[in-house]
Amino acid sequence: MRSMTAALAASTLLAGGGALAQDALSGDLVIFSDMSNPAPRAVMEGMVERFGEMHPDLNIELTVIDREAYKTQIRNFLTANPPDVANWYAANRMLPYVEAGLFADVSDLWAEPEIAENLASTRGALTVDGAQYGVPYTYYQWGVYYRADIFDELGLEEPETWEEELANCQAIIDSGRKCYTIGTKFLWTAGGWFDYLNMRTNGYDFHAALTNGEIPWTDERVRQTFANWRELIDMGAFIDDHQTYSWQEALPFMVNGEATSYLMGNFAVAPMREGGLTDDQLGFYQFPVINPDVELAEDAPTDTFHIPSGAENPEAAREFLRFVVSPENQTLINNGENLGQLPVNASSSVDDDKFLQEGFEMLSSNAPGGIAQFFDRDAPAEMASVAMEGFQEFMVFPDNLDDILERLEEARQDIY
């Protein structure tokens, strides 16, 4: 039996009885997880227990490690004492471990029709050089949350095109309000705006190549993204002094009706409700089309499971990954009593929450261009930091664009 040091975490040994699955599994299945907060931990332990009941001859050892500690320890344990299954994140967060040969190729799973068809939206985020290296278990949508009551007051409809977005924004400004609240104090929120503007201007493949260091920041197509962004900045679309607010501190502008919209992840819905907004006052729409020649892509940060290359029971590990992505399991673990997020499997169902349902529909059937992981997951950490500083500076001093892009290009050449 393999073991971790006590400094990592206490292990929970789980084995159950029940009906045998079609293919009997045996031996030890060692799983490391960073799902250490109470609700995610209960989800992880529940998955292990249910899988154990399906395979009573399999001894499952689950080690839950504090999330921050896991980030510093993952490379060490993948190299020195790998488990059979480890959870992590898609896209650039996954890439270093793929390039180091520490995550196993699981393309055989993605060749199975049940997985290939139902998880298609996240395939790109788990693909390196044409091969897949993990499976998703949860994600959540980004999009534009807006004050539906104010839209009604002004006679506005949800925009589908950039021209409609700009026209709505002008009407909102004319009413004495700002179009968007945002807090860029901690930079990443500006990354969300860049993601959407760039993906809508140039498409997912271009965005992925840019964050992977393959395209110069001085490219004219990047400049067009910033030109679209500047249309909003020059209109006065964003709240003043946004660089002094965190994303939470920017919420009252929308709650109080001083701004009408927020480009944000679904995690913002709960605090907006807590702030007093009802679901009748809130709406959600997909970021509108800018360039009709590119397919719609979305930000949906995705959490994943992987099989380390040194796994001693890869057969059991593969069966566990199949169980994780099943529609029944993804429905259960993502409901409001558990993770409260979205199942990735398109055959799953979601809670009776209008925003989760709208997000599930958008990501499952209306994001043909692909799923991005958010700028600070898609780009290396050092590049993400430099770029997001530039995004914030641009929002405050748009005339600095040339200097910003030159700085980002120098960083690209050094970092990649």
Q: Looking at the structure, tell me whether residues 32 and 67 fall in a common domain.
A: yes
Q: Looking at the structure, tell me whether residues 226 and 319 fall in a common domain.
A: no
* Model confidence pLDDT, tens digit, residues 342-382: 999 999 999 889 999 999 999 988 888 989 999 999 999 89
- CA contacts within 13 A on the Cβ side of 124: 19
**Tokens read off for 226:** 């910033």
Q: Looking at the structure, tell me whether residues 295 and 358 fall in a common domain.
A: no
Domain CATH number, residue 99: 3.40.190.10
Q: Which domain holds residue 99?
A: 11-138+302-370
Task: Look at residue 375 and tell me if it is in a domain.
Answer: no
- The predicted model gives 256-282 an average pLDDT of 96
Task: Look at residue 5 and tell me if it is in a domain.
Answer: no
Q: Looking at the structure, tell me whether residues 257 and 384 fall in a common domain.
A: yes
Q: Looking at the structure, tell me whether residues 407 and 266 fall in a common domain.
A: yes
> Which distant-in-sequence residues (6+ apart) come within 8 Å of 41 by Cβ?
35, 64
The residue among 415, 401, 413 whose CA lies nearest residue 220 is 401
CA end-to-end span of the chain: 40
- The predicted model gives 271-276 an average pLDDT of 95
Instruction: Give the Cα-Cα-Cα angle 86, 58, 56 (nearest 5 degrees).
Output: 130
- Compute CA distances 310 → 12, 136, 241, whole Å: 21, 21, 51
The residue among 101, 13, 29, 4 whose CA lies nearest residue 318 is 29
User: Measured between alpha carbons, how far is 195 from 165 in angstroms, rounded to an integer?
Assistant: 17
- CA contacts within 13 A on the Cβ side of 236: 10
Task: Look at residue 100 and tell me if it is in a domain.
Answer: yes
Q: Say which amino acid occupies 246.
A: S
The residue among 185, 161, 198 whose CA lies nearest residue 372 is 198
Least confident of 166-170, 226-230, 367-371: 367-371
Task: Look at residue 2 and tell me if it is in a domain.
Answer: no
* Model confidence pLDDT, tens digit, residues 315-325: 999 999 999 99
* Model confidence pLDDT, tens digit, residues 64-94: 999 889 999 999 999 999 999 999 999 889 9
User: Measured between alpha carbons, how far is 233 from 397 in angstroms, rounded to an integer?
Assistant: 10
* Model confidence pLDDT, tens digit, residues 203-226: 999 999 999 999 999 999 999 999
Predicted structure pTM score = 0.86
For residue 260, pLDDT over 50 is answered with: yes
| CB neighbour burial string for 48-76, b if at least 16 within 10 angstroms, e if fewer | bebbbebbbebbbbbbbbeeeebeebbee
- The predicted model gives 281-288 an average pLDDT of 98
Q: Looking at the structure, tell me whether residues 254 and 397 fall in a common domain.
A: yes
Task: Look at residue 346 and tell me if it is in a domain.
Answer: yes
Whether residue 221 contacts residue 202, with contact meaning beta carbons closer than 8 Å, is answered with: yes
Q: Looking at the structure, tell me whether residues 124 and 225 fall in a common domain.
A: no
**Tokens read off for 96:** 């270093």
Q: Looking at the structure, tell me whether residues 114 and 182 fall in a common domain.
A: no
Residue 282 DSSP SS3: strand
CB atoms within 10 A of CB 108: 11
For residue 14, pLDDT over 70 is answered with: no
Q: Looking at the structure, tell me whether residues 164 and 103 fall in a common domain.
A: no
